[in-house]
């Protein structure tokens, strides 16, 4: 489902996005779109800018230049009178309410139980009634196979269980867009499959737009409708997973895949 053919307003649009950290330019005038409901995986070597893309969408990093639109609305900056103008922080916060992110290192609140982790944001950010938030949270814990852990604290859970709680917490906000940042890279190998299966189920059962950064190439192949290969802050090539993984055009892509698949 290439965004240029799907019509309508993109779920995510990057326009001439530049991101620098000091003298180091991580993203160099990046342009791409993701269609509503599309699942796109970003691959490439460490330091190529993949996680920075997710953090910019989540507004955890600020743009150096360019624009990001979400569902046709400016995320942090807009053009006004020919100038690039930052949006007020209240509007930025409103724009990110329906964007969920699952991090590499879980980022659960250690002083809260599992169920408290899940209901905190729906109650305080979305204004959901506590009873409704708890009911929704219990349904999500059942979905990720952790119904019996709602009163545990994160420290009492395995890494894989914590990551499944983190996925449920992101889903508790009813996101239109779900960002996944190397969600299995901090896990012991035997815990990876359970987490990936939860994400496969979400991909199959929902129409959430997903932007995924992962080194799990089989997972990328299974759930993605498009794969983008990054290196040096630019997109080297993009296409259907079958094309990228079996017949990449670029030599750099071939070398990267050979290294990660061996």
Residue 7's pLDDT band (cuts 50, 70, 90): low
In a 13 Å sphere around the CA of 190, the CA atoms on its Cβ side amount to 1
Give me the percent of the chain exceeding a pLDDT of 70. Answer: 97
pLDDT digits (tens, 9 = 90+) for 214-234: 888 888 888 899 999 999 889
- Residues 6+ away with beta carbon under 8 Å from 256: 43, 44, 45, 229, 231
Q: Which tokens sit at 241? A: 């997973």
Residue 227: what pLDDT?
Answer: 96
Task: Tell me the domain boundaries of the chain.
Answer: 1-98+177-184+192-262, 102-174
Residue 261's pLDDT band (cuts 50, 70, 90): confident
Q: Average pLDDT, whole number, for the chain?
A: 90
The CATH architecture that domain 1-98+177-184+192-262 belongs to is: 3-Layer(aba) Sandwich (3.40)
Residue 2's pLDDT band (cuts 50, 70, 90): very low
Residue 238's pLDDT band (cuts 50, 70, 90): very high
Q: Which of 9-18, 71-80, 143-152, 177-186 has the lowest mean pLDDT?
A: 177-186
Q: Which tokens sit at 168? A: 């449920």
Residue 175: what pLDDT?
Answer: 93
CA distances to 14, 176, 198 from 141, in Å:
34, 19, 11
pLDDT digits (tens, 9 = 90+) for 242-256: 999 999 999 999 999
- Mean pLDDT is highest, among 92-96, 193-197, 226-230, for 226-230
DSSP string of 71-123, one letter each residue:
TTEESSEEEETTEEEEPPHHHHHHHTTTEEEE-TT----TTS-HHHHHHHHHH
Contact (Cβ atoms closer than 8 angstroms) between residue 199 and residue 144: no
Q: Does 1 score more than 80 pLDDT?
A: no
Q: Does 64 score more than 50 pLDDT?
A: yes
Is 151 strand, coil or helix?
A: coil
Q: Which tokens sit at 59? A: 């507004």
Cα–Cα dist 117/24, whole Å: 36
Residue 4: what pLDDT?
Answer: 40
Q: Give Dmax (Cα) for the chain.
A: 56
- Residues 6+ away with beta carbon under 8 Å from 45: 231, 256
Q: Is 216 exposed, middle or buried (0-12, 13-18, 19+ CB in 10 A)?
A: buried
Give me the percent of the chain exceeding a pLDDT of 90. Answer: 68
């Amino acid at each position: 489902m290439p965004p240029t053919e799907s019509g309508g307003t993109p779920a995510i649009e990057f326009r001439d996005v530049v991101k620098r950290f000091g003298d180091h330019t991580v993203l160099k005038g990046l342009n791409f779109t993701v269609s509503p409901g599309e699942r796109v995986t970003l691959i490439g070597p460490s330091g190529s800018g993949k996680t920075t893309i997710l953090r910019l969408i989540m507004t955890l990093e600020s743009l150096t230049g360019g624009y990001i639109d979400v569902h046709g609305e400016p995320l942090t900056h807009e053009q006004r009178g020919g100038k690039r103008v930052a949006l007020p922080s209240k509007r930025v916060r409103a724009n990110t309410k329906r964007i969920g992110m699952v991090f590499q290192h879980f980022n659960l609140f250690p002083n809260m139980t599992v169920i408290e982790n899940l209901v905190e944001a729906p109650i305080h950010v979305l204004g959901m009634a506590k009873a409704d938030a708890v009911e929704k949270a219990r349904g999500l814990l059942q979905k990720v196979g952790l119904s019996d852990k709602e009163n545990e604290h994160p420290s009492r859970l395995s890494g894989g269980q914590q990551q499944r709680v983190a996925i449920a917490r992101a889903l508790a906000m009813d996101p239109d867009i779900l960002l996944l940042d190397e969600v299995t890279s901090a896990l012991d190998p035997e815990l990876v499959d359970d987490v990936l299966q939860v994400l496969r189920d979400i991909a199959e059962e929902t129409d959430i737009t997903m932007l995924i950064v992962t080194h799990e190439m089989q997972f990328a192949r299974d759930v993605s409708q498009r794969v983008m290969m990054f290196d040096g802050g630019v997109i080297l090539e993009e296409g259907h997973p079958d094309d990228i993984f079996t017949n990449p055009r670029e030599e750099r892509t071939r070398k990267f895949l050979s290294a990660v698949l061996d």
